[in-house]
Amino acid sequence: MTLPVAVLASGRGSNLAALIAARAAGELPIEFTLVAGDKADAPALRNAEAHGIPTFALEPKSFAARAEFDAALFANVKASGAQLVVLAGYMRILDPAVTAQWTGRMINIHPSLLPKYRGLHTHRRALEAGDTEHGSSVHFVSAELDGGPVIAQVRIKIHPRDTEDTLAERLLPKEHRLLVACVGAIARGRVCERNGQTWCDGRPLAKPLQLNTDGRLAGA
């Protein structure tokens, strides 16, 4: 049995590409119902079309308020039959009315070890803080920016000569594997959200799962 998934993206869609590749390789028991976003010319949408996935885009400036835009966008997501929404480089803050309707059924990938560095410029902020490690997190989406319960994380060491670019370059492939692993865990019924907490294999998580070098999720 496959899980119907919609993906929202605003840019190049490298995380979407990782999901498409994993599904094609038989690693993910999912079907893509829609790839949607806020930029009609986003490469992510072109990639989806090339793989026969339906796409949809709306122009935010056509709406008087964020709530109206989100309501229209997610009406299409719902109509697609999606049971899980994956925010994969989607660069807009969602209206609380939408996040409430999709509680436990929407996840986001964020390039930091949450709760550190919510928002933008995470690589720069990690370097400026003198951190010795950095990483990415996948979390259930809540009304709070990058604040929902974390499912899993992947960590990398920060090298003395790292720049924002080198840090981002080394992290991105691991970020892809992390997202694939988390979507797979949800699709197989291993991971869910209950009462604002992440559960795995029938138990609440005290700490986020960690991505191992073999691409599997394990307890911290």
The SS3 assignment for 108 reads strand
**Cβ(90)–Cβ(10) under 8 Å?**
yes
- Active-site residue, from 51, 110, 139, 176: 110
Report the side by side order of strands in the sheet with 197-200.
191-194, 197-200, 203-204
The SS3 assignment for 173 reads helix
Q: Report how far Cα 179 is from the mean position of its chain's Cα atoms.
A: 6
Active site residue 110: yes
The SS3 assignment for 94 reads coil
- C-beta neighbour count of 72 within 10 angstroms: 13
The SS3 assignment for 4 reads strand
Active centre residues (catalytic): 110
